[in-house]
Structure 1
Amino acid sequence: MLQEIQAMGSHAMDIYDYLLAGIDPRLKEYPLMQNPIPMSSILLCYLFFVMYLGPRIMANRKPFQLKEAMIVYNFTLVALSVFIVYEFLMSGWATTYTWRCDAVDTSDSPQALRFWSQQKKHGQVTFLHIFHHSFMPWTWWWGVAYAPGGMGSFHAMVNSSVHVIMYFYYGLAAAGPRFQKFLWWKKYMTAIQLTQFVLVSLHATQYYFMDSCDYQFPMVLHLIWMYGTFFFVLFSNFWIQAYVKGKRLPKQDVKQCKNGTAVHTNGKHHENGINHGTSNGASNSSAPHENGSIHVSKMKKA
């Protein structure tokens, strides 16, 4: 039995060494890229914090007021995303790539090396959120290690373009009530995200219909196709729950409605379960109410 365990351990180490041997040699000087252990450890710590430690620490504490920090954070990511998209374009997508079968350039040419440049709301910690922010970095470590460029990088360029729009939206949302009137396009933000997954899956699909393609890492394209399709399903479910069934009204808003407090979302004034359009966005006012059960019923119907 002991010999069998040792043999399995030796076999596992052989596989591990084989995988590390295939890593792009240009990565040796980059932090966290020598092997997958540091990255995997960081992601495990992230999961432990968002699923257990964070909620436990904040259980009896008031939420932090991070308005200014969130504004800086989101608009910094807008600028960073613009820079990343520009680098993707200059690295091939706007210069030498055909947008079809584009192999990874493993040389040390200047263009090939450009690819190396890169609050207490537990309701937001959903399966979609956790899966995306843990699975995506983990798979991208392998993508960067083995396939830095070529047609497998299309989805990253598209995703970075979406991030420009997405973090601009988040930046406005973090800026406070006076900007709520500019956030009427939240629904279309989700539509843009759905469109990106369609484009990513279609771009990967063309590989299966090519007579020949010298892209070196077909497995990456298989994963990208599955990733795009899977996230299209998840975001479609979000669309249905939020915009068709209307089931994603924040709990605090439901509580305010029960108490007769005016609720303001996306530039509209919801008072006592009735939707009133406003010209100046959201405010912090409240309104008296009568017969709270009727108002709750109206809100549910809305």
Structure 2
Amino acid sequence: MNSTTAMDLSNILSLDWKGKYFYVDLFPLMGSPYPMLLIFISYLIFVLFIGPMWMKNRPPYNLLEVLRLYNAFQVCACTFIVVRAHLVHHYSFFTFSKCVLSPKPVGPNDVLSVTQIAFHIDTYLFMHLRLLELIETIFFVLRKKFNQVSALHMYHHISTITLCWIFLKYRGGRMEIFIAVLNSYVHIIMYAYYFVSSFKRYRIITDKIKPFITIMQIVQLNFILVQCVAILLCEESFINYILVGNFVINIVLFTHFFVKAYMCKRKIRVPVDSNGNIEGFKKNAILNVHGIKSEC
């Protein structure tokens, strides 16, 4: 374990929770992990226990207009992040061959860089935008869409917010903003899709597009993983190992979801002969969209 890795681990496990930048520690929710931890615990208790119990004998809420407003807001907010990245950061963080290392810690007596402060503000806004996404799970519960409250859904949201918090407090490197910008591009398309699909007259189109939204997310995660590996090669640290591992887990979970959701179909009954077979398929075989036997 090198000195950078040991220092990162020491900072995370330290109980004084002093971050790398004194002014970031003054931001709401950034002084210590306890407020964020309380949010996560409250979130999980509601979506897994209190919410389902509350909705057990109640009809699902009609949140159509609320969801449309929410999706429109997310499109606008993500667009703001992307445009701001163009204007302020000039995409100097899109690099895989040249290392842009994390800056040194900044104390109260140090000269502050306007660009670095802008980076922290943008990362902080991005973190809160991802934090707002927790409300999506609450919408699922209130609409009694309990099948959508999956381990993938909850892990993805909580891990993304957690990594934003850790990087904002302990790292602050410019290479990491690539992740936020690429993620915002994908979310612009994703939430625009959700907005359009809320209108029934467009369902025939959006239903065909739906699998490609997940494919886009998986491709995005692979691009981010490459950037994370580049960051790790530039600067080996405990936090960067966590970053790489997290996106590997996300890729596995999203790929597993895609296979189950779009490559495997429901069991269907097929005509059988006296031996219980038809053209090599067993009775009640599972067929995918191409008519090929699937073991999903």
Does TM-score exceed 0.5, indicating one fold?
yes
Q: Partner letter of residue 86 of structure 1?
A: V
Alignment length, in residue pairs?
237
Q: Tell me the residue number matched to 1:237.
A: 256
Give deviations 1:60-86, integer Å, cap 9, x for gaps. Answer: 001111111100100100110111122
Q: Tell me the residue number matched to 2:59.
A: 62
Instruction: Answer whether contact 2:102 2:173 (CA < 8 A) is retained.
Output: yes
Q: Tell me the residue number matched to 1:187.
A: 211
Q: Tell me the residue number matched to 2:26.
A: 29
Q: Tell me the residue number matched to 1:163.
A: 187
Matched, 1:172 2:181: no
Gaps of 5+ in 1: 1-10, 255-296
Higher mean C-alpha deviation, range 41-50 or range 84-93: 84-93
Instruction: Answer whether contact 1:47 1:134 (CA < 8 A) is retained.
Output: no
Q: Give the CA deviation at 1:88.
A: 3.2
Within-5 A mapping of 1:189-268: 189-207=213-231, 213=234, 215=235, 218-246=237-265
Matched, 1:112 2:135: no
Matched, 1:16 2:15: yes
Q: Partner letter of residue 15 of structure 1?
A: S
Q: Tell me the residue number matched to 2:138.
A: none
Within-5 A mapping of 1:95-134: 95=92, 98-99=95-96, 100-105=98-103, 108-115=112-119, 116-117=121-122, 118=125, 119-134=143-158
Q: Give the CA deviation at 1:224.
A: 2.0
Q: Partner letter of residue 150 of structure 2?
A: T
TM-score normalised per structure 2: 0.71
Q: Give the CA deviation at 1:30.
A: 1.3
Q: CA RMSD in A?
A: 3.0
Aligned mates of 1:244, 1:132 — CA distance in 2: 22
Q: Give the CA deviation at 1:97.
A: 6.0
Q: Secondary structure of 2:78's match? A: helix
Q: Give the CA deviation at 1:198.
A: 0.9
Q: Give the CA deviation at 1:48.
A: 0.4
Aligned mates of 1:95, 1:301 — CA distance in 2: 45
Within the candidate set 139, 145, 162, 2:163 is matched to: 139
Q: Give the CA deviation at 1:98.
A: 4.0
Flag the 1:90–1:109 CA change in 2: closer, same or farther, 3 A: farther
Q: Partner letter of residue 133 of structure 1?
A: H
Sequence identity, in percent?
Answer: 28
Instruction: Answer whether contact 1:27 1:33 (CA < 8 A) is retained.
Output: yes
Q: Which has the higher contact order (CA 8 A, sep 6+)?
A: 2
Q: Give the CA deviation at 1:300.
A: 8.2
Aligned mates of 2:14, 2:36 — CA distance in 1: 19
Q: Tell me the residue number matched to 1:81.
A: 78
